Structure 1
Amino acid sequence: MTPLRSARGFNAWIAATVGSELGSGILAFALTWTASGISPQVASAVPTLTVAPSVALGLLGGAVADRFGPRRVMITGTLAMLLVSAALGVAVILWMPSAVLLLIAATLIGTVAAFQRPAAGVFPRLFVADADLGAAMARVGMASQFARTIAPPAGGLLVGLIALSGVAFLDVVGAVVMLCTLLLIRPPRANAPARDAVSLRGIVTGVATARRTSGVPALLACVGIVAGAVIPAVLLGIPLAARERGWSASDAGVIEAGWIAGGLTCGAWFAWRGTATKVSRPMALGPLVVAAGLGLLAIAPAWIVALIGTTFIGVGVVVFTAHVFPTYLLLAPSAMVSRFQALLILVQQAPQLIVSPLIGLFVAVVGTGPVLAVSGLVATLATLIVVTDRTLRTFTTNR
């Protein structure tokens, strides 16, 4: 491992990312909180409509970023988010926050994210050498995770003090800072535009190329398995296990904090020291650590054991993703890197839409413990894929 050699402007973008992610997270909480005061149906529809455009439009968003470059797409998306937040703030002041208004805002926010996320995911590649990409992405991931961690409690405080309109204008401030930062910085590495990317043929070609690129199908399968096994199990499994075993709501909150703390600590290490050059070992180890954590959570007789389990989960996820994500970008052709990133985001999100309702169904039949144990076993399939794929076994970032 070697420390990250920072490129000019990269740290400024990370700092702006913290502010932007924090503003977006607080606004997301405020939208859901306001919607919950209207009806449970509206409250559940708001986050759904925020995610759905990313699934529906994500591949198009990646194609646009390949055609016009990640920086241009991020500037346009940030400006669009600024206008959406400002319009929401004004609309809430002029009219009461209705269900229609909240659902429109959620859909617009999700649509902007569908174009921004693929561009933001590949942006670090324009700042650093290939050997430093893992540490760079770990630093970005740690900053984003920190913002997402403090956003809900900050949103709970601010929505009571300045209401939804004030939170929307606060997000405008974050967008302005990000917009200014993007306009001022210039990544040292160029992005060659793919002129045929924004077409049905260009999108299909991107997916077909990903399928044919050695190592990429295996990585996508691993990401889908880990995302499907971990995220629903943690988000649903912790509260369900807490209620089943008589733990309090505060106990459940501490248990969930374990996976955040484990991930942040591990991410800080990789951001400081860099990632391993021989990526197959940590990629194979990560899912095993996740499985051990899910196993502890499945059998935990007390909340402190569950806390240890979720800490293991957080560490395992970051050990895995800190090496998978940069490897994936390095395997992608330079003219298709954003389309590849959009496909990666799709693979992360789609399994959750299927697994979450299944977890609720099986927990009602067999209880939380067996479902969490099975989730752990499923996660180990990612390890099996890594160790049996020749490209991943031999891949190194020292190229």
Structure 2
Amino acid sequence: MPESRRPESRIDSGRPVDGAGVGGVAASGDRTRLPGAYWVWLGGTALSLVGVQAMAFAMAWAAAGQGARFAALVPTAIVLPRVLLLVVGGAVADRFGAWPVLLVSDAAMIVVTVALAVAVWSPLDPRLPLLLAALAIGTVDAFQLPSSGSMPRRLVPPEALARALSARQLAGQFALFAGPPLGGLMLGLAGLAGAALSNTATALVMLAVLLAVRPAVGSSPAAGRVSLPPVSAALDGLRVAWSVPVLRAALLVTAVAAGFLLPVGTLLVPLLARQRDWSPSATGAVVAAMALGTAAVAVVVLLRGASRRPGVLAAVGLLVAAGGVAGLGAGHAQLPAVLAGVVVGVGSGCFATHVGPLVLAATPLTHLARVQAVLVLVQSLPLLVTTNALGLVVEVAHVAVVLHGCAGVLAATGLAALVVPALHRSRTEAAPQLPVARTSD
């Protein structure tokens, strides 16, 4: 689409860019300019994510100090309500619009972080505030994540989708790079309460951004209103995800990868640091190295565009990540661990920057938030199981043994993904076969 004819983009104006299909995903080398509204939203999102990651690291460190079982219980408390409410959150966003859902979610997160700061300053047992805050964060995530995940498709022209998603990935990895060291610094200066309040500050900025870029009065809240009954509308995202072959294959691989890759940074690295007597700042450096590796991949995709066969590159990414995870468990020094973290990040980034655009571009416009809810769901359900299982195993085995086990599963999944026919298709061959709703001007 020529730039002069590109539709105007607003934060959830209610109209995804007309005709945004898989075939419109940016080819390698595409230089289509991203709309200004997208950069404003992405800038606020990136800053907010820094605060989220700082508090997440602080919560993980505080939980690890209470033992491996409790360290696994805290992320479980986040994942459980997220799993239970995700399909509802996706249906709400498709019905009422992503912008109002993001606005309410951000306001709710401000309340949660302030309450956590007040609670940890009190003489209460810190375990109860940690668990309650984790439950509240998971509930907010169930509504915020589908809306946030659908925003690139809603805001940018089809030929710029791959670059938009790469920019979003880069913003997220910047947050992962900057957040853990900030969380470690805040732990040393003001404890968990300080990390929570830093998240409050960034959430306030994001709230101001959302208010500043609010959609025009009278704009339609969603791309085709959901006309099904509430329960059927919520479950319809599952039907769509299973009906499109590319979505089905990509989501299955993502589920296995999430169960054995996501716990590495959130659970296993803090526990490994406790066993090896690393400081909070050294531990944060390892987690930040993972984000640095992922960010490097996102920069390459942002500048050069995504591969025309993203499924193959995603499988290769899992194999690279497996090597890095094995490296984390192989040595005891901090420098090799940081280098292994970079390798994990490169593999994870290669997987995420290719699977994410493939899933989003293959989704019918009428189901954007609901399929994004399914994407988060297939990551959260395995994470719910493996986080607790790995936490129990660490109580009877060294963390290095668990890391090598995760590496084996990731390698096997990557090899299996290489032979799945649906993941060998190019982006244009992966177009959804379901009807796509188009909006009229």
Q: TM-score scaled by structure 2?
A: 0.75
Q: Which residue of 1 aligns with 2:372?
A: 341
- Distance, in Å, in 2 between the alignment partners of 1:284 and 1:72 is 36
Match status 1:259 vs 2:299: no
- Distance, in Å, in 2 between the alignment partners of 1:313 and 1:133 is 25
Task: Pick one of 317, 324, 340 that aligns with 2:348.
Answer: 317
Task: Pick one of 397, 402, 407 that aligns with 1:364.
Answer: 397
Letter of the structure 2 residue corresponding to residue 333 of structure 1: P
State the superposition RMSD in angstroms: 3.8
- Distance, in Å, in 1 between the alignment partners of 2:36 and 2:367 is 25
Assess if the C-alpha contact under 8 Å between 1:127 and 1:187 holds in 2: no
Task: Pick one of 127, 143, 165 that aligns with 2:171.
Answer: 143
Assess if the C-alpha contact under 8 Å between 2:393 and 2:402 holds in 1: no
Task: Pick one of 100, 106, 114 that aligns with 1:78.
Answer: 106
User: For structure 2, which runs of at least 5 residues remain unmatched after alignment?
Assistant: 1-27, 432-441
Q: Which residue of 2 aligns with 1:208?
A: 239
Could you say if the C-alpha distance between residues 172 and 193 of structure 1 is closer, same or farther in structure 2, counting changes exceeding 3 Å? Answer: farther
Task: Pick one of 196, 217, 224 that aligns with 2:255.
Answer: 224
Q: Which residue of 1 aligns with 2:11?
A: none
Task: Pick one of 387, 393, 398 that aligns with 2:425.
Answer: 393
Letter of the structure 1 residue corresponding to residue 55 of structure 2: L
Q: Which residue of 1 aligns with 2:278?
A: 249
Letter of the structure 1 residue corresponding to residue 418 of structure 2: L
- Distance, in Å, in 1 between the alignment partners of 2:269 and 2:68 is 21
Deviation at 1:356, TM superposition (A): 4.0
Q: Which residue of 1 aligns with 2:185?
A: 157
Deviation at 1:101, TM superposition (A): 4.0
Assess if the C-alpha contact under 8 Å between 2:177 and 2:290 holds in 1: no
Matches within 5 A, 1:266-285: 266-285=297-316
Assess if the C-alpha contact under 8 Å between 1:290 and 1:314 holds in 2: yes
- Distance, in Å, in 2 between the alignment partners of 1:170 and 1:369 is 31
Assess if the C-alpha contact under 8 Å between 1:193 and 1:335 holds in 2: yes
Task: Pick one of 366, 377, 396 that aligns with 2:411.
Answer: 377
Letter of the structure 2 residue corresponding to residue 121 of structure 1: G
Identity %: 34
SS at match of 2:245: coil
Deviation at 1:28, TM superposition (A): 3.5
User: Could you list the per-position Cα deviations for residues 264-314 of structure 1 after superposition, in whole angstroms to 9, with x for gaps in the alignment?
Assistant: 211122223332344344234323333444565676798766655543332
Task: Pick one of 262, 267, 287 that aligns with 2:318.
Answer: 287
Assess if the C-alpha contact under 8 Å between 1:5 and 1:128 holds in 2: no
Assess if the C-alpha contact under 8 Å between 2:91 and 2:233 holds in 1: yes
Deviation at 1:194, TM superposition (A): 3.1
Deviation at 1:358, TM superposition (A): 4.9
Could you say if the C-alpha distance between residues 155 and 315 of structure 1 is closer, same or farther in structure 2, counting changes exceeding 3 Å? Answer: closer
Letter of the structure 2 residue corresponding to residue 249 of structure 1: W
**Which stretch has the larger CA shift, 186-195 or 351-360?**
186-195
Assess if the C-alpha contact under 8 Å between 1:298 and 1:372 holds in 2: no
Deviation at 1:258, TM superposition (A): 4.1
Q: Which residue of 1 aligns with 2:21?
A: none
- Distance, in Å, in 2 between the alignment partners of 1:89 and 1:153 is 19
